[in-house]
Structure 1
Amino acid sequence: MNFLKRIFDFYLQGSIHVALSVYALIHVTFILLHLTPDNYMSGFGFFGTIVGYNFVKYDSIARSGKPELLVKLKWFIALSFAAFIGTAFCFFHLQLTTQIVSAVFLLITTLYTLPFFPNHKNARSWAGLKIYIVALCWVGVTFILPVLNAGIPMETDFFIICVKRFILIVVLLFVFEIIDLAWDDPHLQTVPQQIGVKRTKQLGVALLLVFLILELFQMDESWPRFIINSGLIAITSLFLIFANERRSKYYTAFWTESIPVLWWILLLAFGKALN
């Protein structure tokens, strides 16, 4: 049993599960826009997420040079190296425009992790910005890049879906910020630190209602999609409402991050009804 728990923890701590969430959201984009799934695009998102998240989480530990920490990190480094090879392979199969824009998101991720200016912390420590930087990167990788790679014109629907995807990611991040409230540095000025847990939940529910209103504008007589997305919003709302500092790490690291995967599965299951 302990062995299985270690495997499961490695799956979570190695950012494989969050990468699966990104992979799922990319495929949600394919389904909603009626695009042929692109394995190189989804592979780039999956492997790139493992590399990016592990870089953000473990870079400072790896650079500390402490032998006992490096031993613990060796498997994460091996995983990240393998994922880097996968990312590079998929990258060179993307359209040139997609490659250029993905380099911009790579720059944002690097800025998020490393201090670029003397006597300054990285962007991850900039007060109040963390949640928006992360949400922007998620929208970019899971929606903007797949659209660019498919050569779809950026019309009104593009911007509406961008806003909806941003809202969903921000609200999911609210759950993480509430759970981490006891451990987060007060100087981070996360949303719960600034306005309190209760108001954060109220804000999150209000944003999800905006998501549903925007969904109505795009319904195009597709009631099955509206019902599925309404279910997604209801589930996300429940996770937000029941979030508190006493929840275990699995509440966010596994269950909350499984919401995009559930969305993908529901869309796949009812795919015929959506067409």
Structure 2
Amino acid sequence: MQLLKKLLDFYINGSIHVAFAVFALVQMTFHFFHIPYDNPMAMFAFLGTIVGYNFVKYDALARSKKLTMSRQLKAIVLLSVLAFAGTIYYFFLLKRQTQLLAFGFLLLTLLYTLPFFPKLGNARNWAGVKIYIVAFCWAGITLFLPIFNADLPLSQDVFLKFFQRFLLVIILIMIFEIIDLKNDDLSLKTVPQRLGVYKTKMLNLFLLIPFYCLEFFKSDFQIIQLWINLILIAVIALFTVFSSPKRSDYYTSFWVESIPVFWWILVLAFA
């Protein structure tokens, strides 16, 4: 049992789980826009997520010299190095316009992580900004990159899907912020810090409405997708209602981050 816990912690702390969530959303882009499976695009997103998330999580600790090189952390460093090599390999297999867009998202990640403006710190610590940068990157990487690499036009459906995913990530992040309320610095001014837990939950439940209704505006929306999304928002609503600062970190780092994968499984099973 102890070994299983260590493997699960490595799987989560090494950002493999969140990378699968990104991978699932890329697969859904392939599905919704009838794009044949594009392995370089899918693997670039998967491996790039491991590199990006591990860089964001451990960079500040490394620079502050508060990082203890445990056995697990050494394994995560090795994983990140291998993932970085894979990311570079698949980057050069992408089309030029996709590479340029990916480079733009890299700059956003660096802005989020590194203190380019000494007086302001990094964007991760800008009050109220973090949530929008993360949502924009998730929606853009999982939607715009596959669309650009497939040479598809930026149609109305593409932007509708972008806003839908942007809302989804905002909603999931607010569940994270409720769980992290006990640890977050007050200067971050997260949504639960400003509104309180109850109002944050109400806001989350309200945002599920436009997330669901955007599906009606698609040019080729299908009834089955409405049912799939209804199941999805019911699950997200339950996670929102039962979220609490007293919950274990696994509540978000494993279960909530599984929601994009769950959505993809529903699409594969019924759409």
**TM-score, structure 2 length as denominator?**
0.96
Worse-superposed segment, 123-132 or 230-239: 230-239
Deviation of the 1:3 alpha carbon: 1.1
Q: Which residue of 1 aligns with 2:125?
A: 125
Deviations 1:85-113 (A, max 9, x none): 11111111111111001101101101111
Q: Which residue of 2 aligns with 1:48?
A: 48
Distance in 2 of aligned mates of 1:221 and 1:10: 39
Q: Which residue of 1 aligns with 2:231?
A: 231
Worse-superposed segment, 56-65 or 175-184: 56-65
Paired residues of 2:174 and 2:191 also in contact (CA < 8 A): yes
Structure-2 change in CA distance of 1:189 and 1:65 (3 Å)? closer
Deviation of the 1:76 alpha carbon: 1.2
Q: Which residue of 2 aligns with 1:206?
A: 206
Distance in 1 of aligned mates of 2:242 and 2:34: 35
How well do the aligned residues superpose, as a CA RMSD in angstroms?
Answer: 1.4
Worse-superposed segment, 260-269 or 70-79: 70-79
Distance in 1 of aligned mates of 2:238 and 2:148: 33
Distance in 2 of aligned mates of 1:115 and 1:143: 28
Q: Which residue of 2 aligns with 1:9?
A: 9
Equivalence map 1:89-100=2 (5 Å): 89-100=89-100
The answer to whether residue 180 in structure 2 is matched with residue 180 in structure 1 is yes
Counterpart of 1:5, as a letter, is K
Deviations 1:217-258 (A, max 9, x none): 227361111111111111111111111111111100000001
Deviation of the 1:198 alpha carbon: 1.3
Q: Which residue of 2 aligns with 1:69?
A: 68
Equivalence map 1:97-246=2 (5 Å): 97-218=97-218, 220=220, 222-246=222-246
Counterpart of 1:251, as a letter, is Y
Counterpart of 2:246, as a letter, is R
Distance in 2 of aligned mates of 1:121 and 1:86: 30
Distance in 1 of aligned mates of 2:109 and 2:131: 13
Deviation of the 1:63 alpha carbon: 3.0
Distance in 2 of aligned mates of 1:165 and 1:221: 16
Provide the secondary structure at the position in 1 that maps to 2:181.
coil
**TM-score, structure 1 length as denominator?**
0.95
Distance in 2 of aligned mates of 1:44 and 1:120: 31
Deviations 1:154-198 (A, max 9, x none): 121111111101001100001000000111011101111111111
Paired residues of 2:215 and 2:221 also in contact (CA < 8 A): no
Counterpart of 1:70, as a letter, is M
Provide the secondary structure at the position in 2 that maps to 1:46.
helix
Identity %: 53
Q: Give the gaps of 5 or more residues in structure 2.
A: none
Deviation of the 1:216 alpha carbon: 1.6
Counterpart of 2:8, as a letter, is F
Counterpart of 2:180, as a letter, is D
Q: Which residue of 2 aligns with 1:30?
A: 30
Q: Give the gaps of 5 or more residues in structure 1.
A: none
Deviation of the 1:151 alpha carbon: 1.0
Deviation of the 1:65 alpha carbon: 4.3
Deviation of the 1:206 alpha carbon: 1.3
Structure 1 consecutive aligned stretches of length 4 or more whose deviation exceeds 6 Å: none
Paired residues of 1:61 and 1:69 also in contact (CA < 8 A): no
Paired residues of 1:219 and 1:226 also in contact (CA < 8 A): no
Provide the secondary structure at the position in 2 that maps to 1:157.
helix
Deviations 1:68-98 (A, max 9, x none): 7124421111010000011111111111111
Distance in 2 of aligned mates of 1:30 and 1:74: 35
Counterpart of 2:23, as a letter, is Y
Distance in 2 of aligned mates of 1:203 and 1:228: 22
Structure-2 change in CA distance of 1:52 and 1:38 (3 Å)? same
